[in-house]
Amino acid sequence: MGVRTGRERGSSGLEYIGIALAVAALVAAVGVFLGPRLEPEVARAWCLVTGDSGSDCSGGGTGSAAAAGEDLPWFADPALTPEERATAGRYVGLGDSYSSGEGGSAYEPGTDEDNQWKKWWDQHGLWPGEVRQNMCHRSTAAYSQRVNADQGLTFKGFGFAACSGAVIDDFYRPNHENHNADSPNRQNEDEPAQLDSLTEDTSLVTFSIGGNDVGFADVLTECVKATAISFYDGISGAPPSSCADSDVAAEARGRIPDTAERLTQLLADARERAPGARIIVVGYPKFFPADPSGVSSMIQADDQRWINGGVEALNDALAEAVEDAGGPDAGFEFVDPRDAFAGCEIGTADSCMNGLRVGFGDDFDSGRPVSNGSFHPNDEGHRRIADLIADRIRNGG
């Protein structure tokens, strides 16, 4: 190869400048028709042609990761940390009683109005004035409240629409359209479809759902009845009854697959409402110790073990439903609290969960001797679940 002279080098430089001007003119002309979307490409073309080290040859004016993230949903933006993805917008807490804080401390005003009998009279035109019924029981100590206020996380807003007794249908229709007098908390007024709480500004959603859809409250009732029957059968020497063998238990097991399938669809529908959000499904904690010593809260030891197994089966199905929806790559995550109450289950000295709570309480209007707060996490239980969720928010799925 020959050695270039200084004149040749000068000519080469002029040629590059000419090419650069031609490319710039061409790209600018095309940009008239295609608009600002081509601006990064113009910068990249100038960079590559001129070798300008001050330009961003990746095509982004503020770095490739940030530029790429401009068109990505928050949950998928690689320029953000897991915590930043969750806190980029509003946090919304949805779900059933395990999310609302049923059985915890003080309920928000307007969510503890049990006027069932007055409501019946009002519906028949026999009660003067308006009567409101709402027992969503949104506790001020529920885990979503704690995630929002007590974990050092800063969101751009907070919404709380979880409601005791909720089923998957309550995400799609107003609560009062899905419940009647036989539901755990009957009809709750002024409760729109839970999905209505989600918007494009939502960056984090948490909820538990599925327990009421499979009928777990009915199973617990059956287990308490089995203990009572076993007591009387024991006098005559008959073998003890077990709720695990009941028709109610069989029906609950049979509903799990359909509930999981509906959860997968619910996640897809939630994504349409909140396209950028991390959506976290929260499972259910085990109620009893792994090796119970005897009857606790009117439930026999063998049935306690079976109930724990039922919780595990439901959690496994819910976790699989989250994966079927796309899992973390699609912004869907599952937090599994099944062992969160280890050492503080029902029957232990410092329980994280309420056992059977009997009594009409301050208001006889409900007409029910067993509190809805039975077999639900107490404030300490919600604190533990909040810790799990906060850890997931910071570290990702």
At 368 the pLDDT is 59
pLDDT digits (tens, 9 = 90+) for 274-297: 999 999 999 999 999 999 999 999
Is residue 1 domain-resident?
A: no
C-alpha dihedral sign at 206, 352, 392, 210: negative
At 234 the pLDDT is 61
At 29 the pLDDT is 38
Q: What does the DSSP 8-state code read for residue 113?
A: B
Q: Please report the DSSP string for 150-209 in residue order.
A: TSS---S-EEE---TT--GGGGTS-GGGT--TTSTT---TT---GGGG--TTEEEEEE--
Q: For residues 219 and 199, state if they share a domain.
A: yes
Q: For residues 254 and 201, state if they share a domain.
A: yes
Low-confidence spans in the chain with pLDDT less than 70: 1-70, 115-124, 126-127, 129, 131, 180-186, 233-237, 359-369
- Contacts of residue 201, defined as CB under 8 A and 6 or more positions apart, other chains included, come to 89, 90, 156, 157
Nearest to 247 by CA among 270, 272, 215, 275: 215
- If one counts every other C-beta atom within 10 angstroms of the C-beta of residue 247, the result is 8
At 240 the pLDDT is 80
Is residue 155 domain-resident?
A: yes
At 112 the pLDDT is 87
Is residue 357 domain-resident?
A: yes
Q: For residues 64 and 81, state if they share a domain.
A: no
Q: For residues 164 and 217, state if they share a domain.
A: yes
- If one counts every other C-beta atom within 10 angstroms of the C-beta of residue 17, the result is 12
Domain boundary among 69, 86, 111: 69
376 as an active site residue: the answer is yes
Q: How far apart are CA 289 and CA 340, in angstroms?
A: 12
Q: For residues 59 and 110, state if they share a domain.
A: no
At 239 the pLDDT is 77
At 116 the pLDDT is 64
Which single residue is written with the structure tokens 């807003």?
A: 157
Of these residues, 97, 144, 197, 351, which one is catalytic?
97
Q: What does the DSSP 8-state code read for residue 276?
A: T
- If one counts every other C-beta atom within 10 angstroms of the C-beta of residue 312, the result is 16
Asked if 326 and 270 count as a contact pair (C-beta separation under 8 A), the reply is no
Is residue 362 domain-resident?
A: yes
Total domains in the chain come to: 2
Q: For residues 391 and 310, state if they share a domain.
A: yes
Q: Report the CATH number that the domain containing residue 178 is assigned in CATH.
A: 3.40.50.1110
Range of the domain at 249: 77-395
Is residue 261 domain-resident?
A: yes
C-alpha dihedral sign at 329, 333, 336, 337: positive
164 as an active site residue: the answer is no
Q: How far apart are CA 282 and CA 311, in angstroms?
A: 12
Q: For residues 254 and 283, state if they share a domain.
A: yes
Domain boundary among 41, 69, 97: 69
Domain boundary among 69, 85, 119: 69
Of these residues, 164, 197, 296, 376, which one is catalytic?
376
Q: For residues 86 and 195, state if they share a domain.
A: yes
Is residue 33 domain-resident?
A: yes
Q: For residues 121 and 10, state if they share a domain.
A: no
Q: For residues 149 and 204, state if they share a domain.
A: yes
At 25 the pLDDT is 43
Q: For residues 85 and 30, state if they share a domain.
A: no
Tokens of 165: 């007794």
Asked if 158 and 148 count as a contact pair (C-beta separation under 8 A), the reply is yes
Q: For residues 14 and 115, state if they share a domain.
A: no
